[in-house]
Each structure stands twice: as C-alpha cells, then as structure tokens.
C-alpha cells in the first residue's frame, strides 16, 4: 500500500511542477514579434547592424515584454 501512496504523491508532485512551465513564453523566439523582427532584419540588410540600434532595441524590448530573457 505504501507504494500506491508514494505513486499518488509523485503524480501530485508532477502536476505541481507543471505550474512553473505555464509561466514560460508559449511562442518560440523565432516566431515572436514578427513586426519588429522584419523591420530590424530589413534595416540590418540595407544599412548594416551598426546603423540599426534603435530597431534592434525595439525588437529586444518586444521579446522581453513577451517573457523572453534577452
């Protein structure tokens, strides 16, 4: 019987540990912030990375707002 109770406790632990996973971003980084990503990428291609700092920062902020650690 103790093994049955221990398995029940393990299943409770799994459901409790699932809660922090729900706090992670649901999007993958490649799919997040498509608007700022497109503008940033176009700028980098046309003018070079050193001339696109403002767009790069806007994209980073968008990613942070969605919960990504940038």
Known binding residues: 30-31
With both helix axes pointing from N to C terminus, report the angle between 34-47 and 53-65 in degrees, rounded to the nearest 10.
Answer: 160
| Nearest-angstrom CA–CA distance, 24 and 45 | 31
Say if residues 4 and 45 touch (Cβ distance below 8 Å): no
Please report, in range form, the residues annotated as the binding site for Cu cation: 30-31
| Nearest-angstrom CA–CA distance, 51 and 34 | 20
């Amino acid at each position: 019987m103790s093994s049955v109770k221990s398995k029940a406790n393990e299943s409770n632990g799994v459901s409790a540990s699932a809660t922090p996973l729900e706090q992670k971003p649901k999007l993958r980084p490649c799919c997040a912030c498509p608007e700022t990503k497109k503008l940033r990428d176009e700028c980098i291609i046309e003018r070079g990375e050193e001339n696109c700092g403002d767009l790069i920062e806007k994209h980073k902020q968008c990613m942070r707002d969605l919960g990504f650690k940038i």
